[in-house]
Amino acid sequence: MRALLAAVAAVAITGSLTAAASPPDDDLWLADHLARTTSGKQALVHLRAFERIADENGGQRATATPGFAASARYVTEQLTAAGYQVKSQTVPYRQFVFDAESGQETAPHARTIRTLMLDGSPVTPKGGLTAPLVFAPVKADGTSGCTAADYDGLPVRGAIVLAPRSSCGYANQQKVIAGLGGRAMLMYLPVPDPENIYRLHVFTPSDFTIPSATISPEQAGQLSTDAAQHPITFHLELRGHVADKKTVNLFAETRGGSADHIVMAGAHLDSVPEGPGIDDNASSVAALLETAKRLAPFQNRVRDKVRFAFWGAEEQVDVGSDYYVEHLSSAEKAAIDLYENFELIASPNFARFLIDGNVPEAPGSATVTKVFEQYFTRAGLPFKTEPVTGVGSDQAPFVTAGIAVGGMDMGTIGLKTPEEAAMFGGQAGQQYDHCYHQTCDRVANLSLQALDENVPVIAWTIGRFAMNTSDVR
């Protein structure tokens, strides 16, 4: 029924043009055709292929791993079969490699605690460190451990401190602990799914002076229960090093269309090492693959060139897209009229977020967002806007370069509000995607409704801009 409703919505805003028909003399014929012929069902075939790739490669498709290499081959084969010439860009970068990350409660009980070292964290000595475990007081306002006063009366000096992630930011929480003489920080994210554990990034290395890692809320609760019986002694080993790595970006573009006016659409191809990355972000990759295949017969009819991008190492913080934009000449940047970015388009408890067009540093972004809004309004599908920084992703370097951006995501780690539940359905107070960056980010976790609704709009906006970017320039 969901697929039928999505198909009806697509037909309601499209015509009956077929690939063999002569296009009408207007700017929407290609957009309407692509929306009508590109579906979530087709994208699902690719998603199952990416899941098989992950299963065959240790449960992941992270950059610089065999799973990513197999994903890149799959994308290349699909695009080549559709008639595109695929270009690969090698991207050198530096990656933090984890040599040891382990935690054990040694007293009053013997308990192994799964720990994920922060990417770029300071390290413990080889063999680790053993120290008392101190708990940051949990405050209802979400500011636990944000000031030194929060630890008044607690023996932080020489201890490992366990705290919930707070609104002041984990870098600030770490500074407070280090300033009080703490030896290390453990952190958990207070999310509704207590078994979830998330690896965090050290964005500014100079801010961190003590080893830091995350654990799950569930294991934090177990430690708290043990601490009620007896003071806890904890052993922690966190070690890693920086290594030179390489990844690739993949590109395919239409043969036709003005090379002076390029429409780019992209999604990152890599997963995190902790999971297969099907919603994040194979869902968007699959939508772009299907759009490219449906667009292929019209490559020589587009007015403006369309360039599809599949980024490497986004999970290492936009490495592939940063490299690409940084290595464009001024003329090459000027030729890109807009960039559309897509993330997590099938989150199971989804809300539909569009990038807010209010991006002064990237003129034309408001027009890109209005085009998305036009589709959803005509299709009767609800949406919200969020700041361009709402989801940190590959649109960021394009904004810095002054290129108009747009795009959408269906939500990640955040909690759905009651207002959003009324708009989109689903459960208020639960994460948009409880499998975000987890091993359960698989096909079975996806919202097929969201996939069915969102794949056509991706195709429609690309087709619309392929025939007219004059209002963005």
What positions carry a catalytic annotation?
314
- Give the largest Cα separation in the chain, rounded: 79
Output the CA–CA distances (angstroms, integers) from residue 219 to 193, 215, 422, in the order listed: 12, 7, 33
| Residue carrying structure tokens 């309601």 | 12
Q: DSSP assignment of 292-357, as one string?
A: HHHHGGGTTT-SEEEEEEEES-GGGTSHHHHHHHHTS-HHHHHHEEEEEEEE-TT-TT---EEEPS
The two structure tokens encoding residue 36: 């009508």
Rounded to 5 degrees, φ, ψ at 252 are -140, 135
Please name the amino acid found at residue 260: D
Q: Which distant-in-sequence residues (6+ apart) come within 8 Å of 255 by Cβ?
A: 299, 300
Strands (E), 356-419: 384-386, 404-409
Asked if 283 contacts 451 with a C-beta cutoff of 8 angstroms, the reply is yes
The two structure tokens encoding residue 46: 């690719």
| Residue carrying structure tokens 């299963």 | 55
Bridge partners (DSSP) listed for residue 292? none
Query: In 3D, which of 391, 289, 274 has the Cα closest to residue 48?
Result: 289
Helix (H, G, I), strand (E, B) or coil at 18: coil
Cα 59 to chain centroid distance, Å, stands at 18
Rounded to 5 degrees, φ, ψ at 107 are -160, 140
